[in-house]
Amino acid sequence: MKSVTQTFSYKQEMWRHLADYKVSALGVKKNGIWRKNRREYAHILPCELQRLSILEPYRDEFWTYFRKAHIKLHSDFHHLSSSQAMCFNLFFPFIAEERKHSQILREIFSIDGTIEDARFEVVLHPVEGTNFDFCIETAESRKLFEVKLTESDFGKAKSDDSHISKFETVYSPALNGKFTPGFWFLRPGPITAGLPVIHSQSSSHHARIQSTLR
C-alpha cells in the first residue's frame, strides 16, 4: 500500500507542476479535456494546442520531422503528462539538425560502434506488434526504450486464450536461449506487457525510463 500512496503523490505533484507550467511558461489558461471522462484538467492542453507539448527550442523542427516520419500520436498527446511527448522531448534534440548530436547517445548509454539509426515508435515484429518508444541502432546492436512519466506500470493484458497462445507461440520461443540458466518465465496470469529484458545475451536491449520530479 505504501508504494501506491507514493505513486499517487508523485502523480499529483507532477500534475500540479505541469498545470503551473502550462500557464506560466506556455501562456495557456484554458484547460483541456481528458477524453476518457470528458472532464477538464489544469495540466491538459486544449487539443488544438497540442503542438505546445514539444519544448520550444526544437518545436518547429520537430513538427517538420513529424510530418515526414509518419508517427501516430497517442490519443492523450495533448496531456502535458504524455509519455510520448516526454520521449520526443528527451530524445529529439539528439537527432535534430540532421542527427548532429546523435553520437552523444553512445556515451550516455555505453553503446559500442557508430549509431547508424535512431527513431521513434518502432515495431520490430509486425506479427508480435510491440511498439517501442525509441530505438537506437548500430551495425551490431540495438537499444530499445519504453518511456514513462506518471504511469505506475507498463499496462496489462488479460489472461485469456488469445494472450496465453501469443505468449506460448511468440514470446516463449523468442526468449529461448537468451537468458542465463536459472532465469525463468512463468506462464502469465495476467500477462504484464513490456517488461524490461534482464540478463539478456542477445544484441538487443530494452530500457525503461521513468521520470522523477525534483
DSSP state of 179: S
| C-alpha triplet 209, 81, 41: angle, nearest 5° | 160
Please report, for the chain, the start and end positions of each structural domain, with discontinuous segments joined by +: 2-155+194-210, 156-193
pLDDT digits (tens, 9 = 90+) for 45-94: 999 999 999 999 999 999 999 999 989 999 999 999 999 999 999 999 99
Strand 142-148 versus strand 131-137 pairing type = antiparallel
- What is the model's pLDDT at position 76? 96
Answer yes or no: pTM beyond 0.85: no
In this structure, what are the phi and psi dihedrals at residue 42, rounded to the nearest 5 degrees? -70, -20
